[in-house]
Amino acid sequence: MRWAILLIVGAALFRCLRPWVGGPENFAPLAALALCGAVYFQKPWNWAGPLLALLISDAILNHHYGQPLLTMNTMAAAGSYLLIAALGRWVSGHPVWVTWLGGALASSLVSWVTWLGGALAASLIFYLLTNSFSWWTNVGYDKSPAGWWQALSVGLPGFPPTWTFLRASVISDLLFTAIFVAGIEWY
């Protein structure tokens, strides 16, 4: 249980410090925490922990940026983390089988292929859900397939392209999933 609390607090702190120390947008451990927490944490922390880290860190960041403590975007992100937690539960019960390898090497490789595939899927879930929500609710986007594509690729003028957020999410989800799994498995 100490690991769960340490990971939840660490993930929230890491995310909250980014505006002050720099770094790419969306480079955060929360999706990896939701994915790994679904497998390794005891109930209800397996889904509540990542949501708590999101809500606390979003409230702090929203206050820093002069926004309300909780926004509809927070709720969209919370929905994506619940889906990612469900993905984590599903992935843990459906490993990718590599039949041409045998023994411990196959088991280790299968485990890492499964985890990294789950991390990539987590990145896509978060990206598609939150950007689709922005497209639907933001008046800057045309409510058409072209507007949705704009929300998924270049975003709104004056802001970084949204594909850069996906890139940062993929890198951070792969990195933090590897760190979480290695830390928990080898501890």
Q: How crowded is residue 1: how many other Cβ atoms within 10 Å of its Cβ?
A: 8
Q: Which residues contact 163 (CB under 8 A, 6 or more apart)?
A: 152, 153, 154
Please, are residues 34 and 174 in contact by the beta-carbon 8 Å criterion? no
Question: Could you give the CA distance from residue 146 to residue 124 in angstroms, rounded to a whole number?
Answer: 19
Q: Are 82 and 51 in contact (CB under 8 A)?
A: yes
The number of residues in the chain equals: 187
Using CA atoms, how far apart are residues 109 and 123, in angstroms rounded to an integer? 21
pLDDT at position 105: 46
DSSP state letter for 95: P
**Residue 138 Rama label (left phi>0; alpha psi -120 to 50; beta):** beta
Per-residue pLDDT at 20: 77
Q: Over its length of 187 residues, how does the chain's per-residue pLDDT go in tens digits? A: 666 677 777 777 877 887 777 777 778 888 988 998 888 887 887 888 888 888 888 889 889 889 998 899 999 999 999 999 999 888 777 554 444 444 444 455 457 788 888 999 999 999 999 999 999 999 999 999 999 999 999 999 999 999 999 999 999 999 988 888 888 777 6
**CB-based contact 36:45 (threshold 8 Å):** no
Q: Please, how many CA atoms are within 13 Å of residue 5, restricted to the half-sphere of its CB?
A: 2
Three-class SS of residue 22? coil
Give yes or no for a contact between 109 and 99, defined as CB atoms under 8 angstroms apart: no
- Euclidean distance between CA atoms 186 and 111, whole angstroms: 14
Q: How far apart are CA 137 and CA 174, in angstroms?
A: 29
Token code pair at residue 44 = 């209800």
